[in-house]
Amino acid sequence: MEVFQVFEFPFSGNWGILMAEVWPKMNRVIIQAKDFVDPRGLILESAERLANEVAARLKGGSDIEISLSELKGASSSYFNVLLLRLIEVFGANEIRNRVTFQFRTIAQQQVFQRSLDSIAKSPA
């Protein structure tokens, strides 16, 4: 399984995905994206449910690893909702320092990167 850590977020200058092993942290919580899939199969609602859980855990002081390893596919719309919600509430620096992502495939990571790039180009 591959692990990718986002190291640059919107409005901070450079962009990219750093492939890195995630070192264990005492307060790291692993959240499985599959556990927050909307029962009706609605993609945007699934992303919102995940964002709400991540936000609650971040507010509680935990660092987060979001595992997408068991989520079959994820659209740019899914990542847009997730990223925009988290950045809106916590800011790019806080998310960069406290949230990592574990992807199922390189293709999934590439869709994520496109969403990240799109957010960077949008007005603040």
Structure tokens, 78? 């899914």
| The predicted structure's pLDDT at residue 46 | 95
Rounded percentage of the chain residues whose pLDDT exceeds 70 = 77
Query: pLDDT tens digit string along 1-38?
Result: 444 444 444 434 333 333 334 344 557 899 999 999 99
What's the mean pLDDT in 84-111?
A: 91
* Count of C-beta atoms within a 10 Å radius of residue 21: 8
What's the mean pLDDT in 77-99?
A: 91
Question: DSSP H helical segments within the chain, as ranges?
Answer: 43-59, 76-90, 92-98, 106-121
| The predicted structure's pLDDT at residue 2 | 45
| The predicted structure's pLDDT at residue 21 | 40
State the Cα–Cα distance between residues 88 and 102, nearest whole angstrom.
Answer: 22
Q: Are strands 63-67 and 28-32 parallel, antiparallel or unpaired?
A: parallel
